[in-house]
Structures are given as C-alpha cells and as structure tokens.
Chains A and B, each alone.
Chain A
Amino acid sequence: MRGRVVSRLVDVQDATKKFGQVTALGPISLTIGEGEFVSIVGPSGCGKSTLLEIIGGLQHTSSGSVQVRGEELTGPRDETAIVFQDSATLPWRTVLDNVAFALEARKVPRDARRRIAEERLATVGLQDFADHYPAQLSGGMRQRVAIARALTTDPDLILADEPFGALDEQTRLLMSYELLRVVERLACGVLFITHSIQEAVLLSDRVIVMSARPGRILDDIAIPLPHPRDPDVLSQPAATEAANRIWGLIRREAQLAMGAAS
C-alpha cells in the first residue's frame, strides 16, 4: 500500500550538469523513497527534464553522484521505466505491439509478451484498441499506451517527464485521475515532472520546487494527504495549503524566468 516509505530508492548527491561553461542544473541533492511518489515543479528551462534523464541514466552528470538502490548509476537500468512527454509510440506498429515493445527489447518470448501487454492495456482501459494504430488514437489515449508500456516491465521506478503536457486541460484532469487509480495499486517509486500544481498535489507524497536556471531545489514540500486517494482529496485544507505554498514559490521563479526572457 502506498505511503509507507521503507527505504531509499534513488539518492542524488550534489549533482550538477554543465553544457560547456554554462551550469544548466544544480547542485541538486534529493532522494526518492521506495514506493514514494515525488513530483517536480518548476519554471521552463530549469533543467527538470535533464534531471529526470540523469536519474534515468540517459545523461551523465558533470559532477556529483546518482545512486539507485545503493549502486552508482552508469546507464539506463532495466528496472526503471520512463514515460516521455510525447508518447514515443511507433506509428507503424499496432497499439499492442507498442505496449509489448519494452518486453521485446528484453527478448521476452512472443506469447508471454502478448499476454502481459494485453493485461497492461486492460489496466489502462484500452483493451479494445489493441489492433488499432497510434495514428487512430487521441493524444490522451496514446499516453495511456505509453503508461501501459512502462508498466509491462514491472518497474520499481517510473520516471515521467510531463506526460500530460501535450494534452488539453480537460483531458489532463481525466488522465491524472486515471493515473492516480493505476498508481495507487503499485508499489513503485515515481518521479513525476509537471507544470500543474493540481496534478502534483493530487498524486504526490512530496513536491519538489525547483528554481529557474540554473535549477536548484527551492523547497521539498510534503503532502500529508491520506492514501488511498481519490479526486475529492483536493478539496481538503491540507491540499489547498500545500498548493498555495507551491504557487508562492513558483510565481516568483516564473516572474524571474519571464524577466530573463525579455
């Protein structure tokens, strides 16, 4: 059951990322506990995606360390699953083959692949679309395919980079409820990047607020709402209080970022 943090899954110590001479990110230190849902919110360009890719093993840090399950990270891990902003579905494959793609990369035999993919598709409610092509699906449905794909490998860590960023407001809301329902039944750690404070508060155990470039952590806010959660939880006072606190920090940073742009 979610909410009981047992031990550290991800441990980032003083990580920085430089591009040439410019420091884009850091120094950042954060932890993600096993089974913990952590959101990151911050202004555009602050390096959230870079941080996620570093924890996902897709980029090296310029200094500092990243440990997952106590071991130094040197590349992508089998037990980590990443959900990207654009669903990264392959348009020439059916939905089912897309979901099975991760298992295919693992060389899981065909029958087992199919079975697991069908199960995960059912989990996100798309079992009737197994033989469709991604082009025939809406943006929200494609993201559900991406989530189903992430779940096929039974990850202990899911990294989601603004998965609902390309969707319209109403679809976003529905998708976040959908994600809540799926995630409540899992025990994995989740790192979730979002622009939406509402999503962050609804889904997370902790919300990390990052500053504008070079991104550093401004605050690490615990969300003391009970599990299991449902959409009504947002009306509780603790939720509103957390949201306001986050918004106060973000507003300043967003203004700074806008000022820097002009």
Chain B
Amino acid sequence: MSILTSTRPYRIPGYLRPRPATVLGLAPPAWAAVLGLAAMAAVELASRTGVVSKFDLVPPSRMAARAAGLLTDTGFLTGQLVPSIGLIAATFAIAGGLGVAAAYLLWRSEWCRKATLPLLGVYYAVPVFAVYPILVVLFGVGTAPILVVSVAFAVVVVITNSLTGFDSVPATVTKLARARRLTARQYLTKVLLPAAVPDVVAGLRLGLVYSTIGVLATEFILSTKGLGHFIADAYHTFRVDDMYAGILLICVVALILNVTVAAMLGRIDWRRR
C-alpha cells in the first residue's frame, strides 16, 4: 500500500525536504510585505498613542505628508535635494569611470596588480572618511571635498569587481583571440569588456550604493547644504517632523536610484538575460 499511510515513525529528514511553498497560506514575498507593513503599523500606533514620546517618533503618515510638502518646496528642492542627487550622480560617474579604467590598468600590468591588490584588500577596513577633515582644511567646506571623499569611497568596490570581470575571460577565448591576431584595442572592445560586463555591472551597482552613502555621510557630518546636512540640521534644531521626512525622502531616493540604475545596467548584463 502507499507509503503515505504507513505508521512507522521515521520519515525523510526535514533538512532534506524541499522548502514549503507557503506557511499559513502565504508565500515568502507575501510574508515580506506582511512583516514590513506590520512594522510600519506598529510605528504608526506607537507614535499616535503616545507610547513613545511625540518628540521622538512621528507617525509614518505624517512623515509622508511632510515629505510630500518638502517636495513642493522649491527652496528645499534647489537647496538640498538637487545638489545631493547631483553629487551622487557625479560621484557615481567619476567612480565608475575611474574604477573600470584602473581595473584595466591593474589587469594589464602584473606589477601594478601585485602592488595594489593587498592595499585594495584592506582598503575598506580603514575608515576612509577620516581624511575628510584634511580635505576640509585644505579646500574648505564645499562640493570638492565631498566629491573627493565619496569617489575615494566608491571607486575601490568598482575596481575589485571589474578586475574580477576582466579575469573571468575563459583562457580558451583568449587563445582564440590570439590565434585570430586581434589587436589590443579589438581585444578590449570585442572580448574583454563584453566578457567583463556582468561583474562590472555588479561593481557599478555597489558603486552607486557606496556613492550614495559617501555623499550623504559627508554632508551629514559637515556641510552647508544637501540632504545629509538637512537631516543633521533638522536634528540639531529639534525639527523632528522635518528630520523624519528627510530620512523618508532619502530612503525613497536611494530606492529609486538603485532600481533605475539596476534596470539600465540590466539591459547590457548578459548573465541575466
């Protein structure tokens, strides 16, 4: 008779059984949404009922309302939002270009690779932002230091990922290219760059994340304008509503930037087709 009706106690171990499709009728994505919404509802409740002081926590509904209000305020837009987004975009462009170029240099020169790789390996262990004060003393508070620090922060992740991409050209393809006597430039454009695209794309996506973090963190620590500065300023002047609205806006902006760039880069990423 069918195994399923057997009464022997031992069954196939749980760790070998496939993941259940649903728990309590919901699949994982539904659970993610449920948990996220529950968290937001809890925050809304806690702030409205006064469980948490009204000066510390603001209902998400009011955060959203204030954020919408900020978006219609031209002063905010020109003074904080646009400069920050502009800086992030500029950082991303520079870090991306420099990173890929530097990776190509490392790939071409064995000595450069040997010299630089250990340093790149420990690069992110060292808080890069420590050099921000140096730059501020040299150049004053403004766009240049923020740009330099953010690019320095974002470029290494682009380099390491792009280098992995260049290294990933299969040896047999390289041999084929040499047999066909491709010039260095043809090899770069027709073989190396296309092969490296998936890893370069991964590196660029991380580069965008790091650019965002870099710009906002430096604006936050010390700056006269920008989204990061807006939040710091709102905190210092006890404008809690503005602070939360600013945080919410940053989350939304970060999400939109990531999704847009991911979609754009995804079109050339052949591993995901």
Interface residues of A (CB under 8 A from B): 57-61, 63-66, 72-76
Contact = CB atoms under 8 A, between A and B. Distances in A.
A57 B13 CA distance: 10
Contacts of B11: 74-75
B12 A75 contact: yes
A74 B8 contact: yes
A65 B12 contact: no
Main secondary structure of the interface of A (DSSP, over half): loop
A116 B191 CA distance: 55
Interface residues of B, number: 11
B3 A60 contact: yes
A60 B8 contact: no
Contact of A74 (B3, B13, B16): B3
A58 B8 contact: no
A74 B8 CA distance: 7
Contacts of A65: 1-3
A59 B3 contact: no
A73 B8 CA distance: 9
Interface in B1-43: 1-4, 6, 8, 10-13, 16
B10 A63 contact: no
B44 to A, nearest CB: 42
A58 B16 CA distance: 8
Nearest to B5: A72
Nearest to A61: B3
Given A72-B6, A74-B6, A58 B1 contact: no
B12 A66 contact: no
A59 B12 contact: yes
B12 A60 contact: yes
A57 B12 CA distance: 7
Contacts of A64: 2
A73 B6 CA distance: 9
Contact of B12 (A58, A63, A72): A58
A73 B16 contact: no
List of 7 A-B pairs having minimum Cβ-Cβ separation, nearest first: A74-B8, A75-B10, A74-B6, A75-B11, A72-B6, A60-B3, A75-B12
Q: Chain B CB within 10 Å — which of A65, A66, A74, A76 has the most? A: A74
Contact of B2 (A58, A59, A63, A75): A63
B157 to A, nearest CB: 30
A74 B3 CA distance: 6
Interface string B211-239: 00000000000000000000000000000
Contacts of B6: 72, 74
9 contacts: A57-B12, A58-B16, A60-B3, A60-B4, A60-B12, A66-B3, A72-B3, A75-B8, A75-B11
